[in-house]
Chains A and B, each alone.
Chain A
């Protein structure tokens, strides 16, 4: 599609502006306008025309939206379409009469392009060009993205991809993180779900709690009822018990009061006074009577008390005897005990004597016993030693027998030392000797190959490394001198040759000039004349020789004719020379010049030839010299290389020889070691020639042999040790036997001396008995001494008592008790007499005082006696008592009734009386005693049941406290789940976009890179006037880079190392290549370029126009600029005839 005519009817600042673009190629049109002329507006107009007005168009500052119009005539493939565009949501395409048009034909021409695609791909201003350049630099870490950016017109694929990744990452990633929105929602979901579960009250838990609560309540009620019944019963019994005394008292009182209904009473105060007076009288009578009685008694007792003065005098002696009696009594007690002990010991002595067979003889003396004890001990030790030795010996012999058998059977392998030495030697070679040997062989082979290759490189020289080494050394100075000489000669030959060439050129020029002069046919040079004459003279010499007969002419007629022609020619030349003397002179000069030049040329040729000859001579000499020395014939320069190769070959050969030697040595060591091993194992054949298996087998055999030898040595050592032990035992037994015989002899001697006959075998026991016998006999003696002392003390005491009794005039047999009795009686009687005398006197005084008191009291009672009808004083007391009793009974009755009422638990007196009457006090008491524990139990049960019920009630009530917590948490979880859903959807979109973009970039790179890059490289070469020859992608660095290849191909420049202008050109090349691809693909839309060449110098701007003109062969290009010189440049490029230009400033 192309635009034939653009009509800015009413748009922006334009009104009725017409831009016409002629047909034909190149379809390149420059639209020139200074700043503010409306270039941007015009470009926007093209977009708006093709795709409709933008919703918020900013080109309504002059005409309102409804008035805006853009018209155009567009064409494609011979079809033409006139359209106009107005601003409307629908039906914006209209015809000349503002009637709505079908958009189909226009859409078909747009080939499905959108405004956005058109802006990106077909509309390029300098800003976007720069952005594109920057995008390439920024995207240099990925050429694919850079090309994608260039191809798509996008500037920040990298940012777009990064943004997508970041957006996706902010939502979800395999590793959860707090900042991710999905993670947040998910955590909220998990927390809420857990809360919902935790806050739920399980039906089972609830029913269990409810049942428990109800059961506990029932249990509590039952316990309380039971307790209340007991309490009630206890209350009744308690009440009856409480009122029982009062009830009984009441009954008694009522009975008493009934019995004394007519008795006289008196006021309480008078009663008190009467009673007091009567008390005084009675007291006085009692006192007098008592005092009289006591007085008489005191006198009688005084008369009867005895007086014993003798006893009182001997009181101290009696006390002394009493003290002594204690010791005597204790002695008597001890005597009995001592007698028993003595009897026991005597019996033991008799027993021991009988056991020892001593009858009445004294036991052996202490030193003898001590000696006997030593002998018995020594004898026992010797006997025990003999027994132990016998056991040891038996044991040793038992062990010795199998050892001897084993040693006799042992077969020691022979040649073990040889094997051990071979194994040690093989081990010293190292575990990897086989591998090492193989490697050494390989290395040697490789080195030989390398040496052979190095020798081959020395061609054409042939021979072996020894031949090489035999070759003499070649000093660098010698080669350098020869090389320099050859170079000098070559240089001289080259200079001479150059001179020859220059001379030839000069001669050609002279010949040309001469031809120019001579070509007209007028000028004749002296040489021409001389030549013509010479030709004439030459023929004349032949003719003259014929004339003189010295020669014959083959064809005289022809010769004559030829001669006359040559004469004419010479004459003609002479004539012309004279006729055109000036030209001929010039020609002559030329000829002379030519002669000089030719001379110089000849000299130069000679120098050249000389130099070449000298060079050949030197070369030949050098070659002869070389061959003489045995080197191949070659130039000095090459010889240097050859010598280097020779050194290398020698070194390589040496290396090969060294490695071979090493391999051989290694092999020899290995073989020697292996042979030694095999010799030590003659019965064993290896499967290959490696050392390792042989060594392994040898080591196994060595280990076995060594183990066997070790076992043999150990057995041998043990046998020797056992033999020694047996010998030692025999010796020790002999010594012990001697000792025993000696001890027995001495034992018998001592026995004889002591007069006893104890056997040595039970010596220890017998000697113990002898010792005991001695101890017991000593103890019997001590006991008898003590018993005799006690008897003496008792006799002394009894004599003293009898003596004292006699002294104080005692009658009958005196004893200590009787003495003490008399002493006590005498003391008491003396004291009693003193006391009785004093009492007798005091009682008499009391009799007198009582008589006086009675008289006074009788006087006080006289008025009362008269009131009572002069009754006797003795009757007064009964009257008072009667009065007082009746009143007391009345008071008591009231108090008792009060008590009953108070303790009656509110029951009436009658009810209480009824209960009391019907009760059995004994049964009630028994029941009451039984109730207390029952009640305590019942109370405990109530308390326990109440606690259980309370706990169950609290637990049950707690279950209802959650309310709708679980439901709220479940709802919260649903909210979070919904958010998770939304976030997951968002993530999926972003991540799939990121994946798709990566894929698109890669796909684009793969598919488009090569053709696009090749085309862009070509365009870039042209735009940079060949300064850059191509574009290349450097895959060598870690990330691919887009590089510009310099003119000579020697350097590749990174984009960010290019100047602004070159970067602009690079991006333009990429963009134009992309546009070409789009156009080739069928999207032939006008390409709008807005001042793209700002950073281009004139030459490159020209190249830019050439490239655009070429593209304009396939699609229309509208080039907007405010630079007049660019417009002129475009004209130069396409030619005035084909140039198309619209000026906006003239159109507004």
Chain B
């Protein structure tokens, strides 16, 4: 057996847009829009530079509902660059690819080998003594355990299993080709190149069963570094498995602890510090998109909840001042009123009236009636997150809406008085 190295990536989702990031002055819109392509470019550059022997793409090259042939041609050109460098590519079709019309129509260069979807297929690289086993998705849904039908390891070869799967279930990921680790191990392969889960995960070390994560985070749920895995094999034995990063923009959650914060000035200081710390903590030379969450118990809770738009502007301004590579996705106010102050609303006055808002059927009905058309008219907007008022409204939790409105209102009226 000889020595060789390969690159394992998955979930490219080429040209799928970054979501949840509203445009604003200072946001590098061109970089944002080209992020998945840039990350993919980085991957190609890396493969050429590192002179890998082959590349494995374990599914989801494209977004399933994306129908632009331009994207496919771009991919084909990049594959062509690998071909020029003599690098073979083994492509497995994931759930998105199965649905993609682009995949079906693309003129694949000669160095690209695609696993079949009728049954497991094995590609043998005799010069390297490598056997790659893979089974592409024929349909968008793959409810069956595909792994158990993979062939047994080829004797005297370095066996790699390529599979797009959610294993026995991964939070936030739909179930595809479910299987257990034991199913994978039973094949006797030397390496399992998985795809589908967008976060790097080393499921097992012996044999290595690895999700490389996607190459570029596309929303706040895909935080942290993104890229692939570089695997070195010496005399048929893996000598190193190294995660490599290709992303150009990175998502981060920045929690600002507002506990005991009494003034807006104080809050601004904490906000700035938290953002600066987040920027500093991210040592890689990449753009950082931050989701700011204000948390903790503070007397400003109501004020903050009532001035989210201003807070977003403030956070953007701070970010711009801290670094030209730091941007704000959103500011979430998740602060609570201190316990003592909460009791304040229980006396029989206007505050008490507002405090009782969440339990008043008449108000809840008025809210439902007034806001129902709005919910219908704005259905196309970015879906709300679970803590958002809009989420409460959309599931008919008018009590929650009234609660939030009343607490903000109390502060607002206090200010106004």
Residue B84 at the A interface, CB < 8 A? no
Residues of B within 8 A of A111 (CB): 347
Q: What total count of A-B pairs have CB within 8 Å?
A: 270
Given A201-B68, A988-B401, A989-B306: A117 in contact with B351 (beta carbons within 8 A): yes
Which residue of chain A has the shortest Cβ distance to B370 in the bound complex? A995
Give me 30 A-to-B residue pairs in the complex whose CB atoms sit less than 8 angstroms apart, sorted by A's number. Answer: A107-B340, A112-B346, A117-B349, A152-B350, A155-B417, A182-B378, A186-B378, A186-B380, A203-B67, A203-B72, A206-B72, A964-B70, A972-B33, A975-B23, A978-B20, A981-B381, A981-B390, A982-B312, A984-B374, A985-B308, A991-B374, A992-B367, A992-B402, A992-B404, A993-B412, A995-B371, A1003-B353, A1078-B347, A1081-B349, A1083-B347
- B20 pairs with A1004, CB closer than 8 A: no
Name the distance in Å between B339's Cβ and chain A's nearest Cβ.
Answer: 9
Q: How far is the CA of A599 from the CA of B343 in the complex (A)?
A: 85
Residue A742 at the B interface, CB < 8 A? no
Contact with A along B339-371 (1 / 0, CB 8 A): 011011111111101100100101100110011
Q: How far is the CA of A597 from the CA of B341 in the complex (A)?
A: 83
Q: How far is the CA of A780 from the CA of B357 in the complex (A)?
A: 135
Residue A11 at the B interface, CB < 8 A? no
Which residue of chain A has the shortest Cβ distance to B341 in the bound complex? A114
Residues of A within 8 A of B417 (CB): 116, 120, 152-156
Given A55-B262, A112-B343, A159-B416: A982 in contact with B69 (beta carbons within 8 A): no
Contact with A along B92-120 (1 / 0, CB 8 A): 00000000011011110000000000000
Residue B34 at the A interface, CB < 8 A? yes
Interface size class of A (residues with CB under 8 A): 35 or more
Residue B384 at the A interface, CB < 8 A? yes
Contact with B along A206-231 (1 / 0, CB 8 A): 11001000000000000000000000
Q: Which among A148, A153, A201, A992 is the interface contact of B371 at CB below 8 angstroms?
A: A992
- A979 pairs with B22, CB closer than 8 A: yes
Which residue of chain B has the shortest Cβ distance to A1082 in the bound complex? B347
Name the distance in Å between B344's Cβ and chain A's nearest Cβ.
Answer: 4
Which residue of chain A has the shortest Cβ distance to B309 in the bound complex? A986
Q: Which chain A residues numbered 787 to 821 have a C-beta less than 8 Å away from chain B? A: none
Residues of A within 8 A of B21 (CB): 974-975, 978
Residues of A within 8 A of B374 (CB): 172, 174, 984, 987-988, 991
Residues of A within 8 A of B362 (CB): 999
- A55 pairs with B308, CB closer than 8 A: no
Stretch among B11-19, B177-185, B221-229 lining the A interface: B11-19
- B69 pairs with A203, CB closer than 8 A: yes
- A160 pairs with B18, CB closer than 8 A: no
Given A977-B19, A984-B378: A993 in contact with B408 (beta carbons within 8 A): yes
Q: Which among A107, A206, A999 is the interface contact of B69 at CB below 8 angstroms?
A: A206
- A55 pairs with B416, CB closer than 8 A: no
Residues of A within 8 A of B101 (CB): 202-204
Residue B393 at the A interface, CB < 8 A? yes
Residue A200 at the B interface, CB < 8 A? yes
Name the distance in Å between A408's Cβ and chain B's nearest Cβ.
Answer: 80
Q: How far is the CA of A595 from the CA of B368 in the complex (A)?
A: 93
Which residue of chain B has the shortest Cβ distance to A979 in the bound complex? B22
Interface size class of B (residues with CB under 8 A): 35 or more
Residue B383 at the A interface, CB < 8 A? yes
Name the distance in Å between B387's Cβ and chain A's nearest Cβ.
Answer: 11
Name the distance in Å between A106's Cβ and chain B's nearest Cβ.
Answer: 10
Q: How far is the CA of A117 from the CA of B106 in the complex (A)?
A: 69
Q: How far is the CA of A111 from the CA of B308 in the complex (A)?
A: 30
- B349 pairs with A151, CB closer than 8 A: yes
Residues of A within 8 A of B67 (CB): 200, 202-203
Residue A1020 at the B interface, CB < 8 A? no
Q: How far is the CA of A172 from the CA of B343 in the complex (A)?
A: 35
Residues of A within 8 A of B45 (CB): none
- B15 pairs with A967, CB closer than 8 A: yes
Residues of A within 8 A of B405 (CB): 989, 992-993, 995-996
Residues of A within 8 A of B350 (CB): 148, 151-152, 1000, 1004
- B344 pairs with A117, CB closer than 8 A: yes
Given A967-B68, A999-B363: A1081 in contact with B348 (beta carbons within 8 A): yes
Name the distance in Å between A1008's Cβ and chain B's nearest Cβ.
Answer: 9
Given A112-B345, A995-B366: A960 in contact with B389 (beta carbons within 8 A): no
Q: How far is the CA of A1003 from the CA of B354 in the complex (A)?
A: 10
Residues of B within 8 A of A90 (CB): 260
Residues of A within 8 A of B22 (CB): 185, 975-976, 978-979, 981-982
Q: Which among A103, A112, A120, A998 is the interface contact of B414 at CB below 8 angstroms?
A: A120
- B74 pairs with A991, CB closer than 8 A: no
- A201 pairs with B260, CB closer than 8 A: no
- A965 pairs with B70, CB closer than 8 A: yes
Sample of 8 more A-B contacts, CB < 8 Å, known A89-B260, A980-B380, A992-B405 = A157-B413, A172-B377, A185-B22, A964-B70, A970-B66, A975-B32, A992-B401, A1082-B347
Residues of B within 8 A of A185 (CB): 22, 381
Which residue of chain B has the shortest Cβ distance to A203 in the bound complex? B105
Residue B126 at the A interface, CB < 8 A? no
Residue B388 at the A interface, CB < 8 A? yes
Residues of A within 8 A of B348 (CB): 1077-1078, 1081-1082
- A154 pairs with B384, CB closer than 8 A: no
Residues of B within 8 A of A153 (CB): 417
- A996 pairs with B354, CB closer than 8 A: yes
- B69 pairs with A205, CB closer than 8 A: yes
- B349 pairs with A152, CB closer than 8 A: yes
Name the distance in Å between B317's Cβ and chain A's nearest Cβ.
Answer: 16
Q: Which among A971, A985, A996 is the interface contact of B406 at CB below 8 angstroms?
A: A996
Residues of B within 8 A of A151 (CB): 349-350
Residue B409 at the A interface, CB < 8 A? yes
Residue B202 at the A interface, CB < 8 A? no
Identify the interface centre among A976, A982, A988, A1003: most chain B CB within 10 Å of its CB.
Answer: A988
Q: How far is the CA of A979 from the CA of B33 in the complex (A)?
A: 16
- B377 pairs with A985, CB closer than 8 A: no
- B102 pairs with A203, CB closer than 8 A: yes
Which residue of chain B has the shortest Cβ distance to A972 in the bound complex? B33
Q: Which chain B residues numbered 14 to 44 have a C-beta less than 8 Å away from chain A? A: 15-23, 29, 32-34, 37
Which residue of chain B has the shortest Cβ distance to A116 in the bound complex? B414
- A978 pairs with B19, CB closer than 8 A: yes
Q: How far is the CA of A978 from the CA of B328 in the complex (A)?
A: 12
Q: How far is the CA of A172 from the CA of B381 in the complex (A)?
A: 12
The 4 closest A-B pairs by CB, nearest first: A981-B382, A203-B105, A1081-B348, A980-B381
Q: Which among A55, A996, A1081 is the interface contact of B263 at CB below 8 angstroms?
A: A55
Q: How far is the CA of A992 from the CA of B360 in the complex (A)?
A: 14
Residues of B within 8 A of A189 (CB): 380
Residues of B within 8 A of A998 (CB): 366
Residues of A within 8 A of B299 (CB): 114
- A201 pairs with B33, CB closer than 8 A: no
Name the distance in Å between B103's Cβ and chain A's nearest Cβ.
Answer: 9
Q: How far is the CA of A107 from the CA of B390 in the complex (A)?
A: 35
Q: How far is the CA of A204 from the CA of B102 in the complex (A)?
A: 9
Residue B73 at the A interface, CB < 8 A? yes
Residue B293 at the A interface, CB < 8 A? no
Residue A966 at the B interface, CB < 8 A? yes
Identify the interface centre among A152, A154, A186, A1083: most chain B CB within 10 Å of its CB.
Answer: A152
Contact with A along B240-258 (1 / 0, CB 8 A): 0000000000000000000
- A1077 pairs with B349, CB closer than 8 A: yes
Q: Which chain B residues numbered 316 to 347 have a C-beta less than 8 Å away from chain A? A: 329-330, 340-341, 343-347
Name the distance in Å between A701's Cβ and chain B's nearest Cβ.
Answer: 62
- B347 pairs with A112, CB closer than 8 A: yes
Given A55-B266, A114-B341, A117-B349: A991 in contact with B15 (beta carbons within 8 A): no
Residues of A within 8 A of B16 (CB): 970
Residue A287 at the B interface, CB < 8 A? no
Q: Which among A201, A978, A996, A1000 is the interface contact of B382 at CB below 8 angstroms?
A: A978
Name the distance in Å between B98's Cβ and chain A's nearest Cβ.
Answer: 14
Given A174-B377, A999-B366, A1000-B354: A114 in contact with B344 (beta carbons within 8 A): yes
Q: Which among A155, A202, A981 is the interface contact of B384 at CB below 8 angstroms?
A: A981
